[in-house]
Structure 1
């Protein structure tokens, strides 16, 4: 089964039960993930550099936009407040789904880098979207030995909180890099390799 088919199937099955706004954002994610990989919706507000391979970076700290309030329940049913619980840390937010083949491909890379950078003040957080219930996501976490929590966002409500014109998630998988000040510093719209994760994180770790 192709990645595009895997993306479309959960959306069509749940279309009648999701709020209209959530359906719209998930449809946009589907199109972006199955399209050419080009980004859209950047607007004229954020001064970011479009990197090769779908990674965009905001180099100037003053040009970065604040990350939205990301609070909710994890797959394990625990409360998580990303900004409050990880204040002062660099946060790597990975948008994924257990049904997504590219997400499965990049999972070992995320796990490896999350473990390697934990002592450097970097916290990884997942955002599991469009799984019909937590069970598939929990199985995914166990299979890949994921050491960090994932917010459960089956309807895509948390994705709607990202400000328009920011480096917001536009594909599944997407990875958002949030600096120590809670600002969006970079975004990837594809499955990432270990090397790509490290190259994006190292300049953020070096910031004082």
Structure 2
């Protein structure tokens, strides 16, 4: 009979397995938050609130990246077009494979309809759906009224400034102000109350 490994080896193996499980859970189920820092500590300008929403003061905001490409439905979308100029844009990162994305979809659809008349536009970024048909089924199932970029490889996500979003942090939601700058984010599932909390202060800015 082979002797049992030392206790230290067994503990290390258990910790390694646990870390792998946690990493997979965060990737597949959506991270519930990240530690946001002030500009002086981390350089990203985000201040994390108790709600899990991270915001950036107007004078510290960075420009959102140029986002253009094909949509889930097969059309073309460009956030620099006149359709979005001067509007608050809510960007939701999602995947049809993601349970929390399914749970929050009804809230996004509801608030998108509520805020459209206030000059707020919603746009999705569908990532890691390598079969476009699954993404289209998701949009039909939840009756999503706004377009989503089709970004299975995460190329659009990599255009965001470092520390803003992560391809592993799905779902995530980013609010872009009327001047095209990143004003707020929430990593992880959100509800309608949190979504309104993210949008309202940015939409009220003059």
Bin the TM-score by the shorter chain. Answer: 0.7 to 0.9
Deviations 1:145-175 (A, max 9, x none): 100000000000001001124x324510000
> Residue 38 of structure 1 corresponds to which residue in structure 2?
34
CA RMSD of aligned residues (A): 2.5
Q: In 2, Cα distance between the equivalents of 1:87 and 1:95? A: 21
1:101: how far off?
0.4
Q: In 2, Cα distance between the equivalents of 1:173 and 1:52? A: 19
Q: In 1, Cα distance between the equivalents of 2:78 and 2:91? A: 13
- Structure 1 unaligned segments of length 5 or more: list them: 10-28
> Residue 87 of structure 2 corresponds to which residue in structure 1?
89
1:62: how far off?
1.5
Deviations 1:3-56 (A, max 9, x none): x98x959xxxxxxxxxxxxxxxxxxx728945x733369873232211124310
> Residue 185 of structure 1 corresponds to which residue in structure 2?
183
Which among 39, 61, 80 is matched to residue 58 of structure 2?
61
Q: Which structure 2 residues correspond to residues 1-208 of structure 1 after superposition, within 5 A?
A: 8=24, 30=27, 33=30, 37-39=33-35, 44-58=42-56, 60-84=57-81, 85-165=83-163, 167-169=164-166, 171-208=169-206
Q: In 2, Cα distance between the equivalents of 1:135 and 1:111? A: 20
TM-score, structure 1 normalization: 0.80
Q: Is the 8 A contact 1:41 1:164 kept in 2?
A: no
Q: Is the 8 A contact 2:29 2:100 kept in 1?
A: no
After the TM superposition, list the runs of 4 or more consecutive aligned residues in structure 1 that deviate by more than 3 angstroms: 31-34, 39-43
Q: In 1, Cα distance between the equivalents of 2:54 and 2:92? A: 15
**Number of aligned positions between the proteins:** 182
Q: Is the 8 A contact 2:30 2:189 kept in 1?
A: no
Q: In 1, Cα distance between the equivalents of 2:161 and 2:198? A: 22
Provide the secondary structure at the position in 2 that maps to 1:54.
coil
Q: Is the 8 A contact 2:37 2:47 kept in 1?
A: no
User: Which stretch shifts more, 44-53 or 100-109?
Assistant: 44-53
1:87: how far off?
1.0
TM-score, structure 2 normalization: 0.80
